[in-house]
Structure 1
Amino acid sequence: MLRQQWLDLTFLHWALDPAEVAHFFPPGTRPDTFEGRTYVGLVPFRMTGTGFPHGPAVPVLGSFLETNIRLYSVDESGRRGVVFLSLDADRLAVVAAARTIFGLPYRWAQLTHTKVADQHTYTSVLRWPGAHATSTITVEIGPPVPSDPLTDFLTARWGLHTQRARRTWYLPNHHPVWSFRTAALRTFEIGGLFASVGLAEPTRPPDHLLHSSGLPATFALPIRM
């Protein structure tokens, strides 16, 4: 149905008690857990080359910056996925289309991404009515690192769960296996970003932090549950 390139991703994760976030999940899904804990992820990255299965990418609107806040789900059929609490993008037309067509919680924001040597900096200023949030994140990228069971749990996700028209849907995706590098947090300043989706702001460094240069991804047709 759709193809994209996900590039320059930084994955920041914090462990949570599943009961803290269970109310965010669509009917028929629940928090997925690893050793009794679930996780909330903050993922800034670049999206490029968005288009249909064949033909050129969508001009201009096919490339944009995004920062999302996400939880991890499993449904009654055992399919593991992602539940997005927010997807902030710097293209207003993309936000409008994604909200209308897929019912995903996209929001308009002013975003930047800069790379100097091995440092990546991501900034965001939310421009969504009724919500005020900012963030500045800088990470320094280190050597390649092999995956492990927790990393697989957080990133080997082949779809998302969402609620649309009073039904829960599963939107499958496909992509190669991730490759990761270590990342050290140099700047982490957030103002209201987690609060804007109904979560407490983090009071400690991430429990899990990695960076990926990216990969191509495709989406199949949604499945009604």
Structure 2
Amino acid sequence: MRRLLSMEWRNVLFAHWPVPVETVAQSLPEGLSVDTFDGSAWLGVVPFRMADIRPRGSPIGRSFYELNLRTYVTLDGQPGVYFYNLDADDRLGVAVARRLFRLPYYRARMTAHRHGSRTRLQSVRTHPDAPDVRFRASFEPTGLPEPARDDSLAAFLTERYRFYVADDRGRIYFADIDHPPWDLQPATVTFDRNDLFAASGFDAPDSERVVHFSPGLDVTAGRLHRHR
């Protein structure tokens, strides 16, 4: 993979819900298949800080918070992430991500406050002509970090090294990322408001959520490729 961007992902919350396969299948572009664990599809809400994002060769990086709703898919047997939306508090970052990676990024006004190990995050989408999204949550790790076992649910939900996107004509593109394995901690989270599901056409899941936290890691991303 030829590196296009380097960055740091910090203070990462993974909150996931199992949902029926058909719930996700009907939302995907043609060509992508639902990736399942124990017979379920999964929807994930993932807030974190994107830090020191810089193109290859650039001495200057940018940092901002991001909040995304995602699921897990395969294409030709290759697992990856499919994003329904990514809200970010950076006008330039949103514009670049939309242009370079065709990702569904939206501008948002976001604030994060840390009190010890606990983070409180608030987000209000400000992107023109986009569904309204408001989000308020607080989260905190509750245990020691450790790597996920290869065959575990935690690894299925987090160890993803490719993402897929589709354009307005239904053509599929992908890009690869690289990073060390995640060190994950159990965590607690309280959602005071979460409009992400409704904004993407989902009912809020009523299944029991699975929560992980990571202090973060360093990431590199390659360029976007069109699937054959």
The 5 A counterparts of 1:72-221 are 72-76=72-76, 78-128=77-127, 129-146=129-146, 147-148=148-149, 149-164=152-167, 166=169, 167-185=171-189, 187-203=190-206, 206-221=208-223
Confirm or deny: 8 A CA contact 1:26 1:161 kept in the other structure: no
- SS state at 1:104 partner: coil
- SS state at 2:196 partner: coil
CA distance in 2, matches of 1:200, 1:81: 23
Show the counterpart of 2:19.
16
- SS state at 1:135 partner: strand
Q: Relative to 1, partners in 2 of residues 1:130 and 1:145: Cα closer, same or farther, differing over 3 Å? A: closer
- SS state at 2:156 partner: helix
Structure 2 residues without counterparts, runs of 5 or longer: none
CA distance in 2, matches of 1:145, 1:56: 31
Q: How many residues align?
A: 219
Show the counterpart of 2:45.
42
Deviation at 1:183, TM superposition (A): 0.7
Q: Relative to 1, partners in 2 of residues 1:51 and 1:192: Cα closer, same or farther, differing over 3 Å? A: same
CA distance in 1, matches of 2:88, 2:177: 20
Amino acid corresponding to residue 178 of structure 1 in structure 2: W
Please list the CA deviations of residues 201-223 of structure 1 after superposition, one character each: whole Å capped at 9, or x if unmatched: 2445x521011000011111223
Please list the CA deviations of residues 24-45 of structure 1 after superposition, one character each: whole Å capped at 9, or x if unmatched: 3233211100011010000000
CA distance in 2, matches of 1:191, 1:158: 27
Confirm or deny: 8 A CA contact 1:102 1:164 kept in the other structure: no
Q: Relative to 1, partners in 2 of residues 1:3 and 1:145: Cα closer, same or farther, differing over 3 Å? A: closer
Deviation at 1:110, TM superposition (A): 1.0
Please list the CA deviations of residues 16-75 of structure 1 after superposition, one character each: whole Å capped at 9, or x if unmatched: 1111111332332111000110100000000011112334133xxx21110000010111
TM-score, normalised with respect to structure 1: 0.91
Amino acid corresponding to residue 106 of structure 1 in structure 2: Y
Identity of aligned residues (%): 32
Give the superposed CA RMSD: 1.6
Confirm or deny: 8 A CA contact 2:101 2:224 kept in the other structure: no
TM-score, normalised with respect to structure 2: 0.90
Amino acid corresponding to residue 92 of structure 2 in structure 1: A
The 10-residue stretch of structure 1 (83-92 or 191-200) with the greater mean CA deviation from structure 2: 191-200
Show the counterpart of 1:26.
29
- SS state at 1:162 partner: strand
CA distance in 2, matches of 1:220, 1:52: 10
